[in-house]
Amino acid sequence: MNFETTKDRIIYESLRLFAEKGFDGVSMREIAAAVGMKAASLYSHFKGKEAIYTSIVDTMKSRYNDEVMNLQIDGNDPSADVKVYEQISSEQLYGIGRELFVYFVHDEYTRMYRKMLTIGQFQNEMIAQEYSRQYYDEAITYQRQLFTMLAQMGNFKDADYEVMALHFYAPIYTMITICDRQPEREDEMLELLRKHIEQFVKVYVLKN
Amino acid sequence: MNFETTKDRIIYESLRLFAEKGFDGVSMREIAAAVGMKAASLYSHFKGKEAIYTSIVDTMKSRYNDEVMNLQIDGNDPSADVKVYEQISSEQLYGIGRELFVYFVHDEYTRMYRKMLTIGQFQNEMIAQEYSRQYYDEAITYQRQLFTMLAQMGNFKDADYEVMALHFYAPIYTMITICDRQPEREDEMLELLRKHIEQFVKVYVLKN
DNA sequence: GTCTATAAGAAGATAGAC
DNA sequence: GTCTATCTTCTTATAGAC
């Protein structure tokens, strides 16, 4: 996120407030106060409250793509990542899982954006689809493709690789939602994450 | 839920509206209209809007306990349920999973209540704890105890049974949240549920 | 218990000075 | 671009007739 323009600061503060209180729970006066101006001035930058919300969604979509490219793993193209994990070990798979987990839980914008979508998902069809796409379909598709390729190299037991992706990702996703609700449980979840991946490897990886 | 008293009808309609629009998104006039009265009359039954919300939470807690007792499995005391699954088979484990899934997704009140907690979890510490307790801790504890007992009977491979519970439950929980957001994907999720449990059994159950 | 009427305030949004 | 002032509408909640 850039903080160069006032527009960007409005987007950031609005996201922060929407993530805590929901769209309806935040007033234009509140946003203005957080930015350090009067409510009327917001209308010089955005047509209205809904325009701010739309702008947040657009900004975060492009931000997500930028960030994902900076991770060690590509995150979008598993065929580019597969070389990294050719001789997959428990350690390495823990690497993927932990990286995924820590990024999602610690990155301020990602966390706020996910909270905002979580709150808004039942009020808006578009938000619902965006949430499922980003936090389910894309994640599962990536893992499924990665596991399929690793299996062709003879690293894994024979299995349905979509289900295998689900077995890898769903526990991690579930633990992320716990940390969103109760940040004080992060250490507990990190320990459980370690056990999860250890057991996942025992159960699915042929020899390690 | 009883519909005998006006109070109960107010609770039901409020829950229905809160689940769709969130607490702040619903006005007293809206609730009153849904019940079939004027907003002022609501104050003869509840002190205010927040009192309705509190009352919903209390009502749903007791309702959940009642409902769970009516399921084939006890749902709270795995030692009472373990006899049912002594000679666990893929079919039977599919039975637990599917029952869990269908109850959570189809039961109107459970679904509305879960949506309401989902929306409210970041605004209220109590709601956050209630959500985690009901949809994570209690579910995992139950499954862990069940798997531990089944393992002592020699049905399962050696494993960490908390992680095993997570591997069983987290995919189911994740699929439930998909159906909450996108009910049109229920068939897809039911098919995935079947595959999930099939593979879970292949991976964890010794002989079947 | 339900109604009408209304208080008291907060909401989103706009006009126009600077 | 930001401000003050204001419009209009909506909010929760109460008073008092029936």
Q: What is the pLDDT of residue A25?
A: 97
Residues A162, B195: contact at Cβ < 8 Å?
yes
Place of tokens 């439930």: B176
CATH of domain A53-204: 1.10.357
Task: Compare all CA atoms of chain B with the CA of A119 and give the residue at the minimum distance.
Answer: B119
The distance of A174 to chain B (nearest Cα, Å) reads 6
Query: Which residues from B are below 8 Å from A when comparing CB atoms?
Result: 19-22, 24-25, 115, 118-119, 121-123, 128-129, 131-132, 136, 159-160, 162-164, 166-167, 170-171, 173-174, 178, 180-182, 185, 192, 195-196, 198-200, 202-204
B45-92 confidence digits (pLDDT tens): 999 999 999 999 999 888 777 766 665 556 667 777 666 666 667 777
Write out the two tokens for B38: 């004027």
- Kindly list the residues from chain A whose CB atom is less than 8 angstroms away from the CB atom of residue B196: 163, 166-167
Instruction: Please give the pLDDT value at position B1.
Output: 65
Position B99 scores a pLDDT of 85
Token pair 């598993």 in the structure block, residue: A78
- Burial of residue B8 (CB within 10 Å: 0-12, 13-18, 19+) is middle
Tally of CB atoms within 10 A around A198: 16
Distances in whole angstroms, Cα of residue A160 to Cα of each of A133, A167, A171 = 21, 11, 17
B166, pLDDT greater than 60: yes
Chain B residues with CB inside 8 Å of A22's CB? 22, 24-25, 119, 123
Distance CA A92, CA B27 (A): 52
- pLDDT tens, residue by residue, A124-148: 998 999 999 999 999 999 999 989 9
B34 touches strand C (CB under 7 A): no
Taking the model in full, what pTM does it have? 0.93
**A208 CB-side CA count, 13 A:** 22
Task: Provide, as residue numbers in chain A, all residues whose Cβ is less than 8 Å from the Cβ of B179.
Answer: none
At residue A156, φ and ψ (nearest 5 deg) are -115, 160
Q: Is the CB of A30 under 7 A from strand C?
A: yes
Q: Look-up: residue for tokens 């229920």?
A: B186
Ranked by mean pLDDT, which of A34-43, A65-74, A150-159, B135-144 comes out on top?
A34-43
Tokens of A100: 């995924």
Span of A15-19, A50-54, A66-70 with lowest mean pLDDT: A66-70
Q: Is the CB of A25 under 7 A from strand C?
A: no
Q: What is the pLDDT of residue A66?
A: 74
B41: its two tokens: 């009359």
Residue B204 burial class via C-beta count within 10 angstroms: exposed 0-12, middle 13-18, buried 19 and up: buried
Is there contact between A1 and strand C, defined as CB under 7 Å from any strand atom? Answer: no
Q: What is the pLDDT of residues A43-66, one digit of tens each?
A: 999 999 999 999 999 998 888 777
Q: Which residues of A touch B (CB under 8 A)?
A: 19-22, 24-25, 115, 118-119, 121-123, 128-129, 131-132, 136, 159-160, 162-164, 166-167, 170-171, 173-174, 178, 180-182, 185, 192, 195-196, 198-200, 202-204
Instruction: Using alpha carbons, select from A12, A98, A109 the residue that is nearest to residue A67.
Output: A109
Distance B41 CA to D14 C1' (A): 11
Closest chain B residue to A26, measured at CA: B24
Question: Contact at 8 Å (CB) between B140 and B158?
Answer: no
Candidates A157, A150, A136, A143; CA nearest to A96 is A143
CA distance B85 to B98: 15
3-state secondary structure chain A: CCCCCHHHHHHHHHHHHHHHHCCCCCCHHHHHHHHCCCHHHHCCCCCCHHHHHHHHHHHHHHHHHHHHHHCCCCCCCHHHHHHHHCCCCHHHHHHHHHHHHHHHHHCHHHHHHHHHHHHHCCCCHHHHHHHHHHHHHHHHHHHHHHHHHHHHCCCECCCCHHHHHHHHHHHHHHHHHHHHHCHHHHHHHHHHHHHHHHHHHHHHECCC
**Could you tell me the two tokens for A54?**
């739309």
For chain A, the structural domain boundaries read 53-204
Write the DSSP assignment of chain B as a string of letters: ---SSHHHHHHHHHHHHHHHH-STT--HHHHHHHHTS-HHHHTTT-SSHHHHHHHHHHHHHHHHHHHHHHSSS-SS-HHHHGGGGTT--HHHHHHHHHHHHHHHHH-HHHHHHHHHHHHHTTT-HHHHHHHHIIIIIHHHHHHHHHHHHHHHTT-B-S--HHHHHHHHHHHHHHHHHHHHH-GGGHHHHHHHHHHHHHHHHHHHBS--
How buried is residue A79: exposed, middle or buried, by Cβ count under 10 Å (0-12/13-18/19+)?
exposed
Separation of B51 CA and D16 C1' (Å) = 24
A192–B131 C-beta distance less than 8 A = no
Q: Which of residues 24-43 of B touch strand D (CB under 7 A)?
A: 26-30, 39-40, 43
At residue A64, the pLDDT reads: 73
